[in-house]
Structure 1
Amino acid sequence: MDHYEIIEHALIHIEDNLQHPISVDSVADTFHMSKYYFHRLFSAMMGCSLNQYILSRRLNASLGFIQDSSLALTDIAYQLNFGTQSSFTRAFKRKYRISPSSLRQGQMTIPQSPIPSVVKRPVKNLNGDIVTEFTLTKLESIRVSGIAFEVDLASDDYKTKIRSHAQMLLNQMDETIHGSCYMIYSNCQPGSTRFKALFGIPRDIQIDEPYFFTVDVPQLFCAKFKYFGDLLEIGDVLKTDYARFLKISKQETEDSHIELIQAFDDIHNLESAYHIYAPIKKLPIDSEI
């Protein structure tokens, strides 16, 4: 099995055994792996430790018992291996900002979350740590023509807005046009959740629309990552991967107005694999890892 398939099977195994004792040793043994390697792999793929994940899934399972059954809270804590009701209540309040008893009284409703999907991306061992595979490389300057717009990542409809503007460009293009395309994100101001975005292709095209722009992207020194899946659905994973990369590789982010570039090989196949370019400070000697 590939590494992400191992983790996918591990998540199912954990979900099926939430009412039993689970440890790094027991899960690793199930997949005939070293507990040390398995724990590093799990943390790299899921962005949290195995114990943190198990706790979150037990709390998630408790929602069903609290809202849909008459089991006493003490029995729920016992069934899900919390040890005591007080430890269960403390963990529940930290995660959901409400006590189990208040939830049961109907003060609010909290839906259960499905087993999270495992984002497919290559990983590598870097000095004993497992990280999402990266390359340090130069992204040469390019001129990109396309649809420009603003999105607020704090709003609920930003995903719909990004997809609709990308489709707007595709609808304007001749089907004979093939090649790579880019989604370029730049922050409006430090600390803001509003981003300027441009979805375009590296060639001259003319569209008679007010939001059509041509921009010159300067040469950038970047960390390059490869992912499979929708960027809008893996945002938290990418954020965790990037923070882990910076910590382990001891790289620093570049002070650039461009935050992120998503590059697809084929503009007509946006469901394919793609690369993420994140600007970082240039190394003293140009190199590619």
Structure 2
Amino acid sequence: MEHYEIVEQALIFIEDRLDQPLSLNYVAQASHMSKFYFHRLFSAIMGCSLNHYVLSRRLNASLSLIQAGHLSMTDIAYGLGFGTPSSFTRAFNRQYGTTPSSMNTSQSPLLPVPIPTIVRRPIKNIHGDVVADFTLMEMTPLRLSGIVFEVDLATDYETTIRSHTNLLIQEIGRSFRGPCYVVYSNCQPDSTRFNVICGVPLDIQIEKPFFFTVDVPQLFCAKFKYSGDLLEIGNVLKSDYARFLKVSRQETGDSHIELIQHFEDIHDLGSTYHIFAPIKKLPIDTDEE
């Protein structure tokens, strides 16, 4: 069984038992793994500890119970494994920015969310730490022709990227079957806004506003591989990259380029893809256990 399948089954196991004690040892045994390795695997795949995840799902389950109005807050708190009603209220406020008792008077009711989808990617074991698999490599210089725009990762950036990709396809022709690169650059400190070029490795001139041919310089990068929809990867990539830097003892690069996404097929942004993150070229020790 693949590692992501183990975690997927664990998420279902947890969701069916939110009214029961869910210790690390209990969930690990149900997954037929040692609690030590399961802890590392779960944290690497989900980007948080098991306890943090269980707490968030219990609070998520409480939304439907509160809105149904059949149980008191005390019954909901104890039914979902909180030690006291006050501990439930504090946790609820931390996660949702409001109190459970305010739910019924809110004009914008909070809605429960389904079990999160696992972002599928290979993993590796480095000195006992589980991290997303990576390769350190030199990315050769690349000339891209495409459309330049700006995105804000705090808003609906997925729609922005898809719409500009469609504009690029209209210009190069739908018969083009090849890779697509999305290059993020020039993010200012404490900002979520990036300059972006969505381009193809062709040297062509498109005489329209916002269409340019640019040269991406040679970069030393950490290369990651994912499957699924990269435009929805969000915090998973952030967690994977932070864990990679810590475990591999690498440092972010000095390039104005923050990130490069490489799709095998411009017509399929949900295919297998690679992420290139510029880093400094430092001596490393990444022997696997």
TM range (shorter): over 0.9
Q: Which deviates more from structure 2 when the two are superposed, residues 189-198 or residues 98-107?
A: 98-107
Question: How many angstroms does 1:231 deviate by?
Answer: 1.7
Q: Distance in 1 between matches of 2:260 and 2:52?
A: 31
Matches within 5 A, 1:133-212: 133-155=133-155, 157-212=156-211
Secondary structure in 1 aligned to 2:110? coil
Cα distance in 1 for residues equivalent to 2:103 and 2:180: 47
- The 4+ residue runs of structure 1 with deviation greater than 6 A are none
Instruction: Name the TM-score, length of structure 1 as normaliser.
Output: 0.94
Give the Cα separation in 2 of the matches to 1:188 and 1:54.
Answer: 34
3-state SS in 2 of match to 1:114 = coil
Q: Deviations over 1:172-212 (max 9, x none)?
A: 22345333221101124333222111111112123232111
Report the equivalent of 2:129: 129
Q: 1:265 Cα deviation (Å)?
A: 2.2
Count, aligned residues: 287
Contact map agreement 1:135 1:288 (CA 8 A) in 2 = no
Shift of the alpha carbon at 1:249? 1.0
TM-score, scaled to structure 2: 0.94
Which one-letter code corresponds to 1:13 in the other structure? F
TM-fit CA distance, 1:68: 1.5
Mapping of 1:105-120 within 5 angstroms?
105-106=105-106, 108-120=108-120
Name the SS for the 2:116 alignment partner: coil
SS in 2 for 1:147: strand
Check the 8 A contact 2:127/2:287 in 1, yes or no.
Answer: no
TM-superposition CA deviations, 1:52-92 (whole Å, max 9, x none):
00000000101111121231111101110112111111111
Q: Does 1:231 align with 2:224?
A: no
Equivalence for 2:103: 103
Q: Deviations over 1:104-150 (max 9, x none)?
A: 34465111111100000000101000000011111011111111111
Aligned partner letter, 2:256: H
Aligned to 1:26: 26
Residue identity opposite 2:77 in structure 1: A
Distance 1:100 1:43, change over 3 A: same
In the alignment, residue 13 of structure 2 is paired with which amino acid? H
| 2:64 maps to amino acid | G
SS in 2 for 1:95: helix
CA RMSD, aligned part only?
1.8
Q: Match of 2:278?
A: 279
Contact 1:136–1:288 (Cα < 8 Å) also in 2: no
In 1, distance between residues paired with 2:135 and 2:287?
A: 6
Relative distance call for 1:174 and 1:98 in structure 2 (3 A) is: closer
3-state SS of 1:196 partner: strand
Give unpaired runs (5+ residues) of structure 2: none
Structure 1, unmatched stretches of 5+, are none
- Whichever residue aligns with residue 159 of structure 2, its letter is T
* TM-aligned CA distance change 1:147 to 1:108, over 3 Å: closer
Aligned residues of 1:226 and 1:273 also touching (Cα < 8 A): yes
SS at match of 1:58: helix
